[in-house]
Structure 1
Amino acid sequence: MHLAQLNIAHLRAPVDAPELAEFVALLEPVNAVADESPGFVWRLKESEQDPTATVVHGYGDHLLVNFSVWESLETLWNYVYRSAHLGVLRRRREWFLRMAEPYIVMWWIPEGEIPTLGEGMRRLERLKTQGPSPEAFTFKDFYDSSEAANLPAAAEVRK
């Protein structure tokens, strides 16, 4: 099984605003670190040609989406907290509004499967409304892949 993760953030301004210029400049190098990290499988990209292009979606203005798949919790953790990504993460309050509700969700998927953004948003909503479960969890409230395998409810969340 592989680990899918979705996180969202509300930008303080439009992505092309001067106050976000430094963040936008950091997108390409930080995404390159992810792409080259051990255990990285896939991430949603808006453009193969423009590494600074943010994902366009219909989920709200100024909502930044980061969506990826990793081989394991350890490989995702190492990227988030033990790479150059951590320096950018520590500065998130400069560019993003504080969120009172869950903004990250993880779930297990079969190897070779690529989840949709719609599925990720439904799992985030499930986490918000029902709390952590094997279908939708966080680093803090983590479920092992064995707990998520063969869950009958997983198919309904994918729709």
Structure 2
Amino acid sequence: MTDTAYELAQVNIARLKSPLESPQLKDFVDGLDPVNADADAADGFVWRLQSEGGDATDIAVFGDSWLIVNMSVWRDTDALTAFMYQGRHRELLARRREWFERVEEAMVTLWWVPAGHRPTVAEAESRLLHLRANGPTPYAFTLRTSFPAGGAQPLIGEVPEGLGCSV
């Protein structure tokens, strides 16, 4: 059962192989609006970071113009997982190596926020750096090793192999 006093924040960043305007990223860019619409309509979706353009591709992260950020808030890990591994999002996720550099360090992290809180990019950067330095903890974790809201004991989750959530 989900603790309704908390919601799940997630951030993922990616290093572009080419500029967003390039022909190499056309399929990715063309997929942003439909996937964002799917997220907005998904069961358990609460909020997503977006600029005036309706997505977050022009929002700076770590001061690096080759990084793009996606950040959202969900009811719980089950709702996030259900969205991530189905439909158009799964199709784009399967093609991520065409558009994004393979990076060794963690690029995705999750954390619990009080219901109604909307995380900032600075908060997300802090959580991601904490995960990189300390591994999964209640402060910053992954789908594979998550923590219940307010809990300290990890929950080991089943995440499909090869989809980038294994840290």
Q: Percent identity?
A: 42
Runs of 4+ aligned structure 1 residues displaced above 2 Å come to 50-53
Aligned pair 1:71/2:75, yes or no?
yes
Specify every segment of 5 or more residues in structure 1 that has no aligned partner in the other structure, as ranges. 149-159
Aligned to 1:141: 145
CA distance in 2, matches of 1:117, 1:55: 12
CA RMSD of aligned residues (A): 1.3
Instruction: Normalising by structure 2, report the TM-score.
Output: 0.83
Aligned pair 1:35/2:33, yes or no?
no
Aligned to 1:152: none
CA distance in 2, matches of 1:121, 1:79: 23
Aligned pair 1:81/2:56, yes or no?
no
CA distance in 1, matches of 2:55, 2:130: 30
On the 8 A contact 1:134/1:147 being kept in 2, the answer is yes
Aligned to 2:59: 56
Cα drift, residue 56 of structure 1 = 2.0
Aligned pair 1:6/2:7, yes or no?
no
What is the DSSP-based 3-state SS (H/G/I as helix, E as strand, rest coil) of the residue aligned with 1:86? helix
Cα drift, residue 83 of structure 1 = 3.1
Aligned pair 1:113/2:117, yes or no?
yes
Aligned residue pairs: how many?
A: 146
CA separation of 1:53 and 1:70: change in aligned 2, threshold 3 A = closer
On the 8 A contact 1:44/1:55 being kept in 2, the answer is no
Q: Which has the higher helix share?
A: 1
Cα drift, residue 82 of structure 1 = 2.4
